[in-house]
A and B are shown apart, each in its own frame.
Chain A
Amino acid sequence: MTFTGWFQSHLGDGLGWFVGTTVLILAIVLPVMVGVAMAVYADRKIWAAMQMRRGPNVVGPFGLLQTFADAAKLFLKETIIPSGASREVFLIAPMISFVLALAIWAVMPFDAGLVLADLNVGLLYVFAVSSMGVYGIIMSGWASNSKYPFLGGLRSAAQMVSYEVSMGFILVAVMLYAQSLNLSDIVMAQKGNVLGFLNGNVFNPLLFPMAIMFFITALAETNRPPFDLPEAEAELVAGYQVEYSSMSFALFFLGEYANILFMCALIPVLFLGGWLPPLDWAPLYYIPGFVWMLSKMAFMFFCFAWVKAAVPRYRYDQLMRLGWKVFLPLSLFWVVVVSGWLMFFTDKFATVPGSVTL
């Protein structure tokens, strides 16, 4: 019996489904929020270590509660709405950012079968929700009725739209290889797909360049350094967040980190073999898939923090050049290479399911 089925047998069909699904949503959202708090702490600790500082170490053991202290402080601040702002849009913008950053987790498989919504268009859902994320930023930039937020919003919108194009092509290559848009199927398609014993597209020479490009694109999509132009403090103070205070700022901040964590989970699912161990070797399967997934997420998050500590910020025209003149042609060409390989050297596309022969 499924989890929602248990509720349905006790509370009736409609109400039981509603209660069961709500419980499941909370079971994902609450750990994600705690994960975000821990990610902020980890981020600060990693930068501190790379800059030979100590980082947060006062609140709680090893400073673990620092993020919660910051959040509590933000809670108690006054919410300020600029007098010239477009009130409704100004207030809705952070909510959009935050809600979309959480809604995207619905299709994330944490283990075999451990997924809230096993959509057969899961990857498209991810792409759709992440492309809507730009509205939170562009709306906040416009509604603040102030110069720096507006410039930050425009920069961010242009940046995210540009990198979405090449990100789409990278996803196309992965889904061609897995022959599915379902995230669980994509993970299972990586089982022993390289030489019969390596799990993960990243070990495949054909998809390795895609993995590197996806990592860089993910940095640009989540507005992480070296692509954090929307909030470049040296030029725009804090970009689109300038006029926000208190909880509305906190929503932006949490949404941003929830998005980063999601990207850290999506890269393992697409390229590192998700919940599968890196080697297709029986003893490794005794470690639960959930542990593999979390450790891969942690590794990817370390890489995100590492890049921030190590690399200086891009200039905006160079960012646009990289997106349109380097990544777009390269990923488009690579999609042709991957699909050509699949067409002529494998039997993956000899027939499609159903009766239509090619």
Chain B
Amino acid sequence: MTVAVFSFYLFAVVLITAAVLVITSKNPVHSVLWLIVCFFNAGGLFILLGAEFLAMLLVIVYVGAVAVLFLFVVMMLDIDFATLRRGFLSYLPLGLVVAGVILGEVLFAVGSWVPGRGVMMFDELVSAPDGMTNTQWIGSVLYTRYLFVFQAAGLVLLVSMIGAIVLTHRQRVGTKRQNIGQQVARTPANAVHPAQPGIGQGIDL
């Protein structure tokens, strides 16, 4: 057994175990932590495929940013999994039907897939051309041949980001905000006035 094969099975087994633990663990925070283990091992699988750029991006984006926010939200929520699981048996048939439909679709999609036909990159899987790293290769394809698709994907993300902000942002009345420019522009001339109150008198502010 070579090192690569051993690493593949190691990453795959840990990934699937962690994925099962995501849905079975009792504590929601532990679920998210197992999900992070999942992401990390998927990054390991990418490295075995020779796609080190994607692996690093997966770790940076999913582990470093997305999962942190997940963890943030889940830590703040008061979720009791016991009450959530109460109707488990009554929902089980419906869940199985949904799972079966998705499984069938995946089987059809994978079964009819011929490598290299849908994606017009190269006719077969090849390694990067000489003198080019994996990263440069992805960039040179993404920003030339697939430029418009890539930009369209960016626009979709932009729209969803703006949508999320519009939906959650609310202007509360009566909040006090700091105006940094105003504070910096304040000088002793317009902030301090000397006063010499007489004995027994106060000053008017």
Contacts and interface: CB of A to CB of B under 8 A. Distances in A.
Contact of B68 (A121, A157, A358): A157
Interface stretch (B118-126, B130-138, B158-166): B130-138
A356 interface: yes
A139 interface: yes
Give the interface centre of A120, A154, A355 by most chain B CB atoms within 10 Å. Answer: A120
Contacts of A321: 180
B8 interface: no
A154 B71 CA distance: 10
A348 to B, nearest CB: 13
Contacts of B3: 14
A354 B132 contact: yes
B80 to A, nearest CB: 16
Counting contact residues on chain B (CB < 8 A from A), the size range is 35 or more
B63 A131 contact: yes
B56 A125 contact: yes
Interface stretch (B16-24, B25-33, B149-157): B25-33
Contacts of A354: 129, 131-132, 136-137, 140
B29 A132 contact: no
Nearest to B56: A124
B75 interface: yes
A127 B56 CA distance: 9
A274 to B, nearest CB: 20
B178 interface: yes
Contact of B30 (A89, A124, A158): A89
Nearest to A123: B56
Contact of A157 (B33, B59, B72, B141): B72
B75 A142 contact: yes
A125 B57 CA distance: 9
Given A120-B133, A132-B59, A164 B52 contact: no
A134 B64 contact: yes
A124 B60 CA distance: 8
Interface in B171-192: 178, 180
A245 interface: no
25 contacts: A86-B29, A89-B30, A120-B134, A121-B56, A121-B133, A121-B135, A124-B57, A124-B60, A125-B56, A128-B60, A128-B63, A132-B59, A132-B63, A134-B64, A138-B72, A139-B33, A161-B64, A181-B135, A317-B178, A352-B132, A352-B140, A353-B129, A354-B136, A356-B140, A356-B144
The 8 closest A-B pairs by CB, nearest first: A131-B64, A124-B56, A128-B59, A120-B133, A356-B140, A354-B129, A352-B140, A353-B132
Interface of B: 3, 27, 29-30, 33, 36, 52-53, 56-57, 59-60, 63-65, 68-69, 71-72, 75, 129, 131-137, 139-141, 143-144, 178, 180
Given A128-B56, A131-B64, A157-B71, 18 more contacts: A14-B3, A86-B29, A121-B135, A124-B57, A124-B60, A125-B56, A127-B60, A131-B63, A134-B64, A142-B75, A150-B75, A161-B64, A181-B133, A317-B178, A352-B132, A354-B131, A356-B141, A356-B144
